[in-house]
Amino acid sequence: MKTLSKSFAKEGIWMEQAEKPEFGHNDVLIRVRKTAICGTDIHIYNWDDWAQQTIPVPMTVGHEFVGVIEEIGQEVQGFSIGDRVSGEGHITCGYCRNCRAGRRHLCRNTYGVGVDRPGAFAEYLVIPAVNAFKLPNDISDEMAAIFDPFGNAVHTALSYDLVGEDVLITGAGPIGIMAAAVCRHVGARHVVITDVNSYRLDLAKKLGATRTVDVSKENLKDVMDELGMTEGFDVGLEMSGVPSAVQSMFATMNNGGKIAMLGIPPANMGVDWNQVIFKGLQIKGIYGREMFETWYKMVSLLQSGLDISPIITHQFDVDDFQQGFDVMRSGLSGKVILNWK
């Protein structure tokens, strides 16, 4: 079968041939239809410090996918051959305290599909059946292919009550933009999103941000004056991982504001802790998606009319994967899909 793999310890991704994977008693074998390129795949492509420390070479990469179950292990229940599925890329242990308490997203022994074990950029993918998510017919393949990052957005955005609240989202990457759409859909008032990339801010506007702010050109505090926000933001969703963005969020939150942090900052990021203490801010870290509460919420949000389809800006045949990676690396894209079939 065809795969896209990190074959060499240097910049790039390569198309390779591999054996169709074996599957165990509790696994499903999925024929992959569509995959999407994640920021993580770009880190792996670029072979940055994180990738060098994390990814064993060679490794089939990718973890955002939709496909159809072609074979099931003999102990698997609840799935049938022919089921259309996406799936959770965090493989959890099942026996740690958090797993046993039903908090699988907090498992201490998590393995990543396409990071620690062979990924979804392949004609066939094997994952444990408990990680597969059966899709209702009214969810398109395109949407299902981006459930992983959409789930990051939903998990982060729905951390707090948003109805009537003024929300600041720092970072209009694909996840920040989808989070803006979710906030609007569930009834936030102002949904202000910041970035330094005008292409992405335009896309955020299209998906429902009420005000976009290019922080290289405009001052966030001036925008708050313009909007009549005298006190500060009620909810902050940090989706850039950029220290200056985190600092601006802490500085513009109202007293008692609530922050959810998804963006991955550099080690030892400095922040003004006095903002946290004297404003009584609440901060929650977000990793992945809740299994599988976030997945059910994603389906319900789409079925109740949330339209995030404009976030998919490009689709390529997998043979043209290089174009997909190039456009994703340029920053002039939302989500980029690779078609396998």
Name the site residues for ligand NAD (rule: CB under 6 A).
39, 152, 170-176, 194-197, 200, 215, 239-242, 244-245, 262-264, 286-288
- Least Å distance, CB 294 to Zn ion, is 17
User: Catalytic amino acids?
Assistant: 40, 43
Among 51, 69, 99, 204, binds Zn ion (CB under 5 A): 99
Residue 107 interacts, among Zn ion, ligand NAD, none and using kind-specific CB cut-offs from 5 to 8 Å, with Zn ion
In degrees rounded to 5, what are phi and psi of residue 210?
A: -85, -25
Q: Could you tell which of ligand NAD, Zn ion, none binds residue 310, using a CB distance below 5 to 8 A set by kind?
A: none
Q: How far lies 306's CA from each of 119, 159, 187, 311, in Å?
A: 29, 18, 12, 12
Burial 95-126 (b: 16+ CB within 10 A, else e): ebebbeeeebbbbeebebbbbebbbbbbbbbb
Least separation in angstroms between CB 109 and Zn ion = 5
Q: How far is the CB of 211 from ligand NAD (least distance, A)?
A: 14
d(CA 328, CA 103): 32
Rounded to an integer, what distance in angstroms lies between the CA atom of residue 201 and that of residue 210? Answer: 11
Which of Zn ion, ligand NAD, none is residue 67 near (CB under 5 to 8 Å by kind)? none
Q: Is 92 in the site for Zn ion (CB under 5 A)?
A: yes
Residue 106 near Zn ion by CB under 5 A: no
* Residue 174, binding choice from Zn ion, ligand NAD, none, Cβ under 5 to 8 Å by partner class: ligand NAD
Residue placing its CB nearer to ligand NAD in the complex, 175 or 209:
175
Q: Reduced to 3 states, what is the DSSP secondary structure of residue 189?
A: coil
Tokens 């043979």 correspond to what residue? 319
* 3-state secondary structure at position 61: coil
Residue ranges that bind Zn ion, judged by CB under 5 A: 92-93, 96, 99, 107, 109
